[in-house]
Structure 1
């Protein structure tokens, strides 16, 4: 199964997004990474790499909130022993789409990435 990693500057935000994505994604393998090791707002590559490796069976799609989360996710992917990509998608909507797509028997990193990135065009009103 393709794994999903949600990265946010806030540990609570990442956990909340994972919680919502698990509701719609059922059996999807989703890890949440947020904040710094000392409880501050921010991201660091080490925990992101560990999360990627924890769900890396058939590859991983990483969803990020903003700024340095992108840079740290890319660093983590370089260090990880896994096929992983960062989605250019809104983190919540992308995670929901990715979670549903990841549960398909024929899911690939490419199909889950495409589903996540399809969320860029979702209108909220």
Structure 2
């Protein structure tokens, strides 16, 4: 059993759509069942507010949730993933930032709920990845 951390892991949700990123962040926050307040930042859309991705928005979102316990980053589609990977490779995200291999919506919920228990980044990443196995039928 792991000991809960003082500060929860932060979560950044990167989507091609600002509205999608905000909606998934709101859903995940509302499903924490009274757990610790987890810093969740949506980073959606391009620099002009339309569809796309923005390295500046992603980096700012990561900085805004950084509490020193690590940052779980979830991305929706191709160029969002590539943008996060480039930011990580160039050390443009805070230390302890990690791109999670997880489905966007289910993974985000699992990550935020797990972070709300005080679990560390490894447990948050594992919970998000486990969302790939959720069966609906």
TM-score > 0.5 by shorter chain: yes
TM-score by length of 2: 0.85
Mean Cα displacement is larger for which, 73-82 or 3-12?
73-82
Q: What does the per-residue CA deviation read over 1:43-63, in whole Å, with 9 as the maximum and x for residues that have no partner?
A: 021110111111111110011
Give the unaligned 5+ runs of structure 1. none
CA radius of gyration, larger in: 2
1:22 is matched with 29
Corresponding pairs, count: 124
Q: CA deviation at 1:81?
A: 2.7
* Structure 2 residue aligned with 1:109: 121
**CA RMSD of the aligned region, Å?**
1.2
Structure 1 length normalisation: TM-score? Answer: 0.93
How far apart in 1 are the matches of 2:58 and 2:78?
15
Residue 87 of structure 2 is matched in structure 1 by 76
CA apart distance, 1:97:
0.5
Structure 2 stretches of 5 or more lacking a match?
A: 1-7
CA-to-partner distance for each residue in 1:8-48, whole Å, 9 max, x for gaps? 00000000000100111252210001111212211021110
- Aligned to 1:32, the other structure's residue is in SS state strand
Q: Which has the higher helix share?
A: 1
- After the TM superposition, which of the residue ranges 110-119 and 75-84 deviates more from structure 2? 75-84
